[in-house]
Amino acid sequence: MGLNVEYVGRTYTAGAGMAPGVPVAPGAGVEPFLVGRQKVREFATAVGDTNPLSHDLDAARAAGYPDLVAPPTFAIILHFAAMDPAFADPGLGLDYSRLVHGTQEFHYRRPIVAGDALIAVATIEQIRARGGHDLLTVRADIEAAGEHVVTTRSVVIIRGIEQDSP
């Protein structure tokens, strides 16, 4: 077990401009991640998604949204931003180059739209060993203006030194 199991239950908060490796109390003085229209378009383009709701403001508004609608996996940006301080924390003992993404869940209350000012709070839910690898489960609760938007959960695999198949 390379990971420090005492880190289960720790929380990390992500908005914008976070210093890596510096834990912050949930919601305390964090500048939110402001979702820009161009970021929504850029992300949609990167996953080949040409849906007009993610690119065309008139189309999004005609469908009843206040602004461009982000693709469902957009929340991973916030999820990873919230995990980054944990990953960079030397006390956790995580080797980033041996990290492989295992499982990912998104549970939406509503879609992320451009203009959202998002705060993500990540919680280390579980650390366990399996087959020579370490498995790290992290949940992120993502909200805008105090309102829940989406909860994400990932299991990442830290591949053991001895075993080189993921």
Partner 1 sequence: MTSAVPDMAPDQPEGGPPGGPPAPPLWAEVALGQVLPQQSHRVTRATLVRYAGASGDFNVIHWSSRIAQSVGLPDVIAHGMLTLALAGRIVTDWVGDPGRVVELTGRMTAPVVVPDDDLGVILDVSAEVTEKRADRLVRVAIQARVGDLRVLGRADAVLRLG
- Site of interaction with partner 1 (CB under 8 A): 39, 42-43, 45-49, 51-54, 58-59, 62-63, 65, 69-73, 76-77, 80-81, 96-108, 110-111, 159, 164-166
Determine the straight-line distance between the first and last CA of the chain, rounded to whole angstroms: 16
CB of 6 to partner 1, least distance (A): 25
CB closer to partner 1, 13 vs 54? 54
- Give the CA distances from residue 101 to residues 15, 52, 84, 94, in Å, rounded to whole numbers and listed in that order: 22, 30, 14, 13
CB of 154 to partner 1, least distance (A): 9
CB closer to partner 1, 9 vs 50? 50
CB closer to partner 1, 6 vs 163? 163
CB closer to partner 1, 19 vs 46? 46
Q: Report CA dihedral (76, 94, 20, 46) to the nearest 10 degrees.
A: -30
CB of 33 to partner 1, least distance (A): 10
Strands 117-130 and 11-14, bridge-based pairing: antiparallel
CB closer to partner 1, 25 vs 45? 45
What values do phi and psi take at 76, rounded to 5? -65, -25
CB 68 within 8 A of CB 75: no
CB of 7 to partner 1, least distance (A): 20
Q: Which residue has the tokens 């914008």?
A: 16
CB of 159 to partner 1, least distance (A): 7
Length of the chain: 166
Angle, CA 42 vertex, CA 36 and CA 45 arms, to 5°: 145
